[in-house]
Amino acid sequence: MRRYFADRRPAWRMKAAMPFQDFRDFLTALREQGELVDVDRPVALELEVAKGLRKSASIAGPAFVFKNNGTPFPLVAGVYNSRAKALIAFQATEDEAFGKILNGLSNPIPPVLVDDAPVHENVIEGDDIDLSTLPVPKYSPNDGGPYITPGIVVSHDPETGIPDMGHYRFQIIDKNTMSFLAQPMHRFGKNLAKAVRLGQQTFRAALVIGVDPMLAYTCPIQATDDTNDFAVAGGLRGAAVELVKCRTNDVNVPARAEVVIEFEVQFANEVFEGPLGEYTGYYTPGSMKPIARVLAITHRNDAYFQALLTGVPPTENHTLKQLPFEASFFQMMRSQFPTIEKVAVPSSGGVSFYIVIAMRPRYSGEARAAILMAMGTNLRPKTVIVVDPDIDVNNSDQVEWAVAFRTQPSRDVILVDQLPAGPLDPSVSDDIPLDQRMGSALAIDATYPYGTDVRIAGSDEACGPSVAEHGHEFVMVADVPGWRDYDFPELRNRAP
């Protein structure tokens, strides 16, 4: 197999600043950059697709179109498996992407409703519905069955009507039945719970597959429950999202999606769902979950279906979440702690359970205050580390260096118990209902004590508060000035 190093190449730039219109535009961009490869040989949906995706992701390799998969639909997979593909999706360089997300969050653009749409070129209803015609893989050996993992659920708050988009797993049960997992702290789960409280026996929504990547990257963004996610996606795209009303309910879905599965949740009926190899790298045990009865399948002519590998980090699932999580978490934290300079939510923690924050405290204890706010966010981290701005939050060696030499455990380690547990945490008992699970969190304040002046040896560069301003302890960092900019010809073509 050809070896790929896509993450080290400059990001692909659009010739014009036009947003992708749909999934197909994105696939064209990937193909032009050698990031999408056709697979014409027969490939089995059970485990073989997953093996190919795992191998490619391990080398930041290409996405695939599995054309010969035993169904009428080509299966596209791996489109979010590397940082390079993320930058193609955002039409940005590494330096631009973070700011582009923040700008989009600050400038939402409302969606527009259209009367007709490509996603309604084919409408399948009633006895013609057959989920087995879709190329839905089985990823891990002990999975309970085939799973739709890249699907975006579009649901409306049953009281306010505010739309939400989010990624949720759906297991195929039979030709017209699915089941799913919706965490109680996520908006789809909240919408379902609210419908039950209102006395509804059913709840209708839609599962969307194959969209402009900005919609997919909008789903993980941390936002309040009164946020219209389509307006956020419009901000990220720089243009309004076109929506069309579903055929069997009042939910509006992306007009240019490849496939939409319209369904009805039946609260009174349950089916056994799971296990699934999840983003934590562990199987989540199966349990009884609500039934989602399919009411219609609509799709474009020559539609693409999509697969997404999840499992031991890093996988496509983690790369998809990382930029949106980091940018929206950064924006939220900066609103209260403006000296936060960088954040990292690494894939090693499932892009949720482990957070590193770089900040310049303005007063004693501010780093601890930031830690407590981070623990209270919907990411529900189990470990939070705060470092000084001279530490690269994305470099584990530097973070561990700060922990090793800038902390005293008795002074700088914080333990907080009886917090809401993070989603699907395998260290929490599976016997406890999802909305009752509790856990604990650990934090390390690895910033120098407030008032310490930190300087690079042989340089006037200050990493911490100045002596003149605070007049306390002085610490010298023994680094080599200018090493990052030094031109070493023998290393020019070597990996960083």
Q: Concatenated DSSP letters for 300-311?
A: -TTPPEEE---S
| Residue position matching structure tokens 């719970």 | 193
Strand partners, 207: 153, 261
Confidence of residue 478 (pLDDT cuts 50, 70, 90): low
Alpha-carbon distance of 367 to 361, in angstroms, equals 6
| Mean pLDDT value across residues 158-172 | 94
Task: Give yes or no for residue 488 having a pLDDT over 90.
Answer: no
pLDDT of 172 strictly over 90: yes
Class of CATH domain 336-450? alpha beta
What's the token pair of residue 428? 């929490």
CB atoms within 10 A of CB 58: 11
- Looking up tokens 């894939």, which residue turns up? 347
Smallest Cα–Cα separation from 162: which of 226, 112, 221, 206? 226
pLDDT at 7 over 50: no
pLDDT for residue 293: 97
Q: Give me the residues paired with residue 270 across strands.
A: 290
Higher pLDDT, 243 or 442: 243
Pick 6-307's CATH classification: 2.30.110.10, 3.90.650.10, 3.30.2320.50, 3.20.20.80: 2.30.110.10
pLDDT of residue 23: 97
How much is the pLDDT for 472? 45
Banded pLDDT at 33 (limits 50, 70, 90): very high
pLDDT at 494 (0 to 100): 54
Predicted confidence (pLDDT) at residue 171 exceeds the cutoff of 90: yes
Give the whole-angstrom CA distance, residue 37 versus residue 111. 33
Going by C-alpha positions, the residue among 205, 180, 152, 13 that lies closest to residue 94 is: 13
Contact by Cβ (8 Å): 26, 90: no
Weakest mean pLDDT among 19-23, 293-297, 319-323, 442-446: 319-323
What tens digit of pLDDT does each residue of 178-237 get?
999 988 778 999 999 999 999 999 999 999 999 999 999 998 887 888 999 999 999 999
Please give the mean pLDDT across all residues of the chain.
85
What pLDDT sits at residue 59?
81
| 323-367 tens-digit pLDDT | 888 888 888 899 899 999 999 888 776 767 889 999 999 888 899
Most confident of 197-211, 310-324, 449-463: 197-211
What is the dihedral angle through the alpha carbons of 235, 237, 239, 243, rounded to the nearest 10 degrees?
-90
Mean pLDDT across 448-458: 65
Q: Say if CB 189 and CB 245 are below 8 A apart.
A: no
- The winner for highest mean pLDDT among 293-302, 342-351, 426-435, 485-494 is 293-302
Least confident stretch, 74-78, 246-250, 339-343 = 339-343
Domain ranges of the chain: 6-307, 336-450
Do residues 105 and 331 make contact, with C-beta atoms less than 8 angstroms apart?
Answer: yes
58 phi, psi to nearest 5 deg:
-65, -20
Whole-number pLDDT of residue 153: 96
Lookup: tokens for 157: 């708050």
Res. 10: pLDDT tops 60: no
Residue owning tokens 């050996």: 141
Q: What 3-state class would DSSP assign to 214?
A: helix
Among 56-65, 116-125, 237-246, 462-471, whose mean pLDDT is lowest? 462-471
Give the E-state strand segments of 388-449 in sequence order: 413-420, 438-446
User: Residue 250 burial by CB count (10 A; 0-12/13-18/19+): exposed, middle or buried?
Assistant: exposed
- The answer to whether residues 116 and 349 touch, using CB atoms and an 8 Å cutoff, is no
Q: Is the pLDDT of residue 460 over 60?
A: no
Report the pLDDT value the prediction gives residue 118, as an integer from 0 to 100.
97
Query: How far, in Å, CA of 259 to CA of 76, rounded?
Result: 13
Lowest mean pLDDT, pick from 219-233, 248-262, 449-463: 449-463
Provide the strand spans (E) within 168-273.
170-174, 177-180, 202-209, 242-245, 252-254, 259-273
What is the pTM (predicted TM-score) of this model? Answer: 0.78
Q: Is 392 helix (H, G, I), strand (E, B) or coil?
A: coil
Structure confidence at residue 341 (pLDDT): 92
pLDDT by residue (tens digit) across 294-303? 999 999 999 9
Q: Residue 469: its pLDDT value, please?
A: 40
For residue 290, which phi and psi values (nearest 5 degrees)? -65, 155
Q: Which two tokens stand for residue 75?
A: 């299966």
